[in-house]
Structure 1
Amino acid sequence: MSSNSAVESSLHIKAGQSLSKGLILLMAIACGMTVANLYYNQPLLADIGRSFHVSDNQIGIISMLTQIGYAVGLFLFVPLGDMRERRQLLFLLLIAVSLSLVGIATAQSLIWISIASLLVGVTTVIPQMMVPLAAQLAAPSERGKVIGTVMSGLLIGILLARTVSGIVGGALGWRTMFGIAAVMMLLLAAILRLYLPKSYPESKITYRQLMLSIGQLIIKHRTLREASLIAAMLFGSFSAFWTTLVFYIEGAPYNYGSEIAGLFGLVGVAGALAAPLAGRLSDRYNTKYIVGFAILITLLSFVFFWQFGDHLWGLVIGVILLDLGVQGGQIANQSRIYSLAPEARGRLNTVYMVSTFLFGSVGSALGSYAWSLWRWNGVSAVGGCMVLIAFAVWGWHRMKERQG
C-alpha cells in the first residue's frame, strides 16, 4: 500500500468507534477558532462605530446581522452534511469565510461592513457541521462526553474571541483583528484537509427532499420543538448581554475600554469549562432536568446583573453564571435532539441552531434598543424576560408529560 493510501485509509473512521483524544481535540479547536468569527466584533463595536461616525444603536446592527447570517448559513449549508462528504464542505466554507473576513477588514462604510458581517455569519457554520460529525463518529455510550468536549472548544472560542479581539483591537486597531482572523481560517482549512477523517452521509436523499424533511422533523418531534425554543430564548438573553456590555463598561462607574470588555470573556471561560461535565451528566441522568437547572442558573445571572451590575464583583459572578447556564443547557439540549433520528443529525441541528441564532439576533437588537432607552436596567430586563419565557416553555412541557 502506498503512503498516500495508508494516510487515506487512516482518515476513515466508522460511526460508533472510539475517537482518539487527538482527533477530538482537533475538532474542539476547529470549532473554537471558527465560531470566534461571529464574536470578534462585539468588544470592538464602539471603536467601529467611531470609525464610521454612527451611534451605539446603529452600530449594534453589525452584531445582529452576523447572527442573522449565521442562521441563514445554518439553514442553507448544515443540512448538506446529511447528503455530502463533510470534510470537503468544511474546506470550501473555510475559504469562503476567509474572503468574508477580508471584506470586514477593508470596509469603508457602514453598508460595506454590514454586508461583509452578514456574509461572515453565512459562511461561519463550520462548528455546526463539526458537532454532528462528532456525534456520528462517537460510540453511543460516550456521545454526550464527546459532544461536551467538542462543544467546550466552541464555547471557549466564543468567549476568548472577545478577549483576543479586545486586546488586538485596542493595540492594533479593529481592522487588524479581522485580517488576522482571515489568515487563521486559511491555515485551518489546510490542517482539516490533512487530518480530519472523511465522513459520508447515513442516508441517500436529494437536497429538495432534505429541505422538505426539516419541516417534517419539526412536526414529528416535540422534544426538538421544546429544545429549540428554550435554546433560542437562552441565547437571545446571552446576546443581549454581550452586545451591550461594551457600551455599559465604557461609561460610569467603570470607564473601561475595548481591551477590558474583551477580558470579560476570560471570566466566562469558567462557565464554558463546565461543558464536558454537562456532557457527562447528560450521559448518566435525565437531560430534561439538567436543562431546567441550567435555565434557573441563567435567570440568576440576570438577577446579579440587575441588582449588582454596578459592582465589578457582581458583573463577574453574573458572567460566570450566564455562561454556565447557557452552555450547560446547550449541551443537554443537543444530547437530547441527536438521539431522536441518527440519520438526520445535520437537519436536527439545523432546526436547533437556526432557532438559536435567529433569536440571538433578536436578543442583540432588543438589547441595543433597551440600552438606548433604559440603559443597563433595560438590558437586564430584556435578558431576564427571555429566560423566563424559556422556563415557561420547559415547565409547560413537563406538565404535558405528567398529563400523559
Structure 2
Amino acid sequence: MMESISGAAPAPRVPPRLVALFACGSGLSVANVYYAQPLLGSLAADFAISPAAIGGVITATQAGSVVALLMLVPLGDRLDRRRLMLVQALLLALALACVAMARHTPLLLAGMLAVGLLGTAMTQGLIASAASAADASERGRVVGAAQGGVVIGLLLARVLAGLVADVAGWRWVYLLSAAAMLALAALLWTALPAQARSGPRLSYGALLRSMLDLLLHERMLQIRGLIALLMFAAFSIFWSALVLPLSAAPFAFSHTAIGAFGLVGVAGALAAGKAGSWADRGLGQRATGMALALLVLAWLPLGLLHRSLWLLGLGILLLDIGAQAIQVLNQSMIFRSRPDAHSRLVGCYMLFYAVGSGAGALGATAMHAAAGWTGVCVLGAGVSALAALFWALSLRWTPA
C-alpha cells in the first residue's frame, strides 16, 4: 500500500540473490560442455588418440547436448524443477568425476557424453526456471541475467581449463568442476522456489510429442527460431574459422592466445541483460532490428583482420553484443507465448541453435579452403543480412 501511494515501482518478484544464482548456475553448468576444447592435446597424449580422431571427444559432448534438448530438458514441464535439477547436478558431478578418473578411451567418451547431456540439461533447465520464476514484466531482465551467465561461463571455460591444466593437469579441471556442481546442487535445493503446476500433467510420451506440436504450430517459436538459426550460423562461421588465419603466418598465435580473443565477448553478457529489459518494455522488435544491424556491421572490421588486430577486437565486440542480445530477445518473446511450456520451448528453440551452429562450422571451413578469410567474412555477412531480411519480413506476422 505504501508503495502505491508513493508512486514507487513495485518490488521485483525475483530477488537479486536468486537472479545471481540463476546467472552463476547457468555459467557453471554450461562451462562443463566446453572444458574439453583447450584440453584436446593433453587428452590425445594421455589416451593415445590420434590428432585426427581426438575431435570425437567434442562430438560425444555435443551429441549428449542434443539428446538433452530432446529427452531431458522437456521434463521441467512435468516434474518439480527443484528436485529435477538436484538430481541432474548430482549426476553431473558423478559424470565429471568419472571423466577425471577415466583410464580408457571408451570410458572417457562415455563420460563426455554424460557431461554434455547433463550440463546442457542443467543450463537450459535453469533458464526455464528463471523464466517461470519471473513475472511477465521482468521476465526479460531475469532471463537476460541467466543468459549473461551462460555467455561468461562459455567464454571463461576455455581460459580456466587451460590455466588449471597447466598448473595441475587436465584431470583436476573435472575434479574441481565436480566439487562446484555439488556446491551448486546444495544452493539450488535451498534457494529455488517451488513452482506450481497448472493444467493436466502429461505423460512423458505425450510431453515429447507436444514438442513436435510446438514446432509445427507456435508461430513465435518458428519465426524467432529461424532468426536464431541464421544468427548462430553467422556466429559459428566466425569462431570456427578464426583459428585458421590467426594460427598461420604472419600471426602464428598459440591456441591460448587465440582463445583469449573470446574474452572480448564478455561484453555480450552486459548486452544480454539490457536486451531483456527492452523486451520487458515492449521494445523487442525494435531491439532485434538494432542487434541484427550490429551483426551485419561487425563483418566490416572482421574482414580487415590482416590490417589491424584492434579492428578484429572491435568486430568481435559488435558480433557478440548483437548475437547475445538477439538470443535474449528471442527467448523472452518465445516464453511469453506459452507460460505453461517453458522447458519444452527452450528445448525446441535450442534445436535451432544446434542446427545453425553445425551448419556454420561446416560452411566456414569449406569457405576458408576455397576463398580464404575474405570468403569467410562474405559468407558471414551474407548469412547475417539474410537474418535481418527475414526479421523485417516477419514483422507483419509477430507483435512487438
Normalising by structure 2, we get a TM-score of 0.85
Q: Which moved more, 1:256-265 or 1:271-280?
A: 256-265
Alpha-carbon distance in structure 2 between the residues aligned to 1:120 and 1:128: 14
2:149 corresponds to which letter in structure 1? G
Identity of counterpart residues, as a percentage?
34
- Deviation of 1:147 after TM superposition, in Å, equals 1.4
Give the Å deviation of 1:373.
Answer: 6.0
- Counterparts of 1:27 and 1:69, CA distance in 2: 22
1:66 and 2:74 aligned:
no
Structure 2 unaligned residues grouped into runs of 5+ = 1-10
Inter-partner Cα distance in structure 2 for 1:364 and 1:62: 17
Question: Given that residues 151 and 268 in structure 2 are in contact (C-alpha distance below 8 angstroms), is that contact kept between their aligned partners in structure 1?
Answer: no
User: How far apart, CA to CA, are the structure 2 residues paired with 1:233 and 1:97?
Assistant: 31
State the partner residue of 1:192.
188
Report how far residue 41 of structure 1 moved: 2.9
- Counting matched residue pairs gives 386
Q: Report matched runs for 1:352-391 at 5 Å.
A: 352-370=349-367, 376-377=373-374, 379-391=376-388
| Residue correspondence of structure 1 range 79-228 to structure 2 within 5 A | 79-106=74-101, 113-124=108-119, 125-203=121-199, 204-228=201-225
Deviation at 1:225, TM superposition (A): 0.4
Paired with 1:91 and 1:379, the residues of 2 have a C-alpha distance of 43
Taking a change above 3 Å as real, the CA distance of residues 377 and 97 of structure 1, as seen in their structure-2 partners, is farther
Match of 1:141, SS state, is: coil
CA distance in 1, matches of 2:110, 2:228: 27
Distance 1:276 1:311, change over 3 A: same
C-alpha contact (below 8 Å) 1:67/1:360 kept by paired residues: no
1:260 aligns with 2:250: no
Within 5 Å, give how 1:213-362 maps onto structure 2: 213-246=210-243, 248-308=245-305, 311-362=308-359
Shift of 1:245: 3.7
State the match for 2:3 in structure 1.
none
2:133·2:193 contact (CA, 8 Å) conserved in 1? no
Aligned to 1:38: 33
1:36-94 Cα distance to aligned partner (Å, 9 max, x none): 11222334445555665644x75455445433421220111111111100011111212
Compared CA separation, residues 135 and 214, structure 1 to 2 (3 A): same
One-letter amino acid of the counterpart of residue 193, structure 1: W
Distance 1:119 1:379, change over 3 A: farther
CA RMSD of aligned residues (A): 2.9
**Alpha carbons 1:67, 1:361 under 8 Å: kept:** no
Higher mean displacement: 104-113 or 300-309: 104-113
Q: Which residue of 1 aligns with 2:73?
A: 78
What SS does the corresponding residue of 1:205 show, helix, strand or coil?
coil
Is the 2:136–2:336 contact (alpha carbons within 8 Å) kept by the matching residues of 1?
no
Contact (CA 8 Å) 1:166, 1:260: kept in 2 or not?
no
Alpha-carbon shift at residue 169 of structure 1 (Å): 3.4
Q: Please tell me whether the aligned partners of residues 82 and 202 of structure 1 are also in contact (alpha carbons under 8 angstroms).
A: no
Query: Take 2:59 and 2:72, find their aligned partners in 1: how far apart are those partners?
Result: 20
Displacement after TM superposition at 1:177 (Å): 2.3
Q: Give the superposition deviation at 1:313.
A: 1.0
Q: Deviations over 1:214-256 (max 9, x none)?
A: 2222222212101111112222332343344445433333333
Mapped contact 1:64–1:365 kept (Cα < 8 A): no
Q: TM-score, normalised by structure 1?
A: 0.84
Report the AA paired with residue 84 of structure 2. Answer: L
Separation in 1 of the partners of 2:245 and 2:41?
Answer: 11
Query: Matched residues in 1 for 2:282 and 2:57: separation?
Result: 40
Please state how far the C-alpha of 1:326 moved relative to its aligned partner: 0.9
Per-residue deviation, residues 281-332 of structure 1 (Å, max 9, x unmatched): 1112431232232222122223332222563212211221121011000111
Deviating more after overlay: 159-168 vs 323-332: 159-168
Deviation at 1:192, TM superposition (A): 1.6
In structure 1, list runs of 5 or more residues that go unmatched: 1-15
CA deviation string 1:132-187 (max 9, x = no partner): 21121212211111211222122221222222223333444444323322222222
**1:116 to 1:292, Cα distance in 2 relative to 1, 3 A:** farther
Q: How far apart, in 2, do the equivalents of 1:310 and 1:115 lie?
A: 44
Question: What is the CA distance between 1:372 and its match in structure 2?
Answer: 5.9
